[in-house]
Amino acid sequence: MCFLIFYDIKNGIGTIMTPKTRKVKEVGKMFQIGERTFYPIIEISTVEMETSFVESISPIALVVVESLKKYILPLTEDEVDSAEIIDLFNFT
């Protein structure tokens, strides 16, 4: 569980808040280089509090499509959930 403590120095009051967090993965704008088509996969992390929010956008992988094969190139040291990324696409 994650929580934040805000302390109002002027009034000497502390408040404990539990932020709402959310992470989603999305497919970015595709681009081509030669015969290959690249689809960037980004992760958007959001932390919401009562009066504010913070978002970060991170590239996590590239899906590469060639004429005979498709594959995923991770862009981070974290393990990439290939099934989750494949679910973002409707390859036929």
pLDDT value at 50 more than 90: no
pLDDT of residue 80: 83
Question: Between 61 and 3, where is the model more confident?
Answer: 61
User: What's the full length of the chain, in residues?
Assistant: 92
The predicted model gives 59-68 an average pLDDT of 94
pLDDT of residue 3: 53
Copy the structure tokens of residue 19.
């932020």
pTM for the predicted model, two decimal places: 0.71
Instruction: Give me the residues paired with residue 62 across strands.
Output: 40, 73
| % the chain with pLDDT above 70 | 78
pLDDT value at 7 more than 60: no
**Residue-wise burial string across 49-67, b where 16 or more C-beta atoms lie within 10 A, e elsewhere:** eeeeeeeeeeebbbbebee
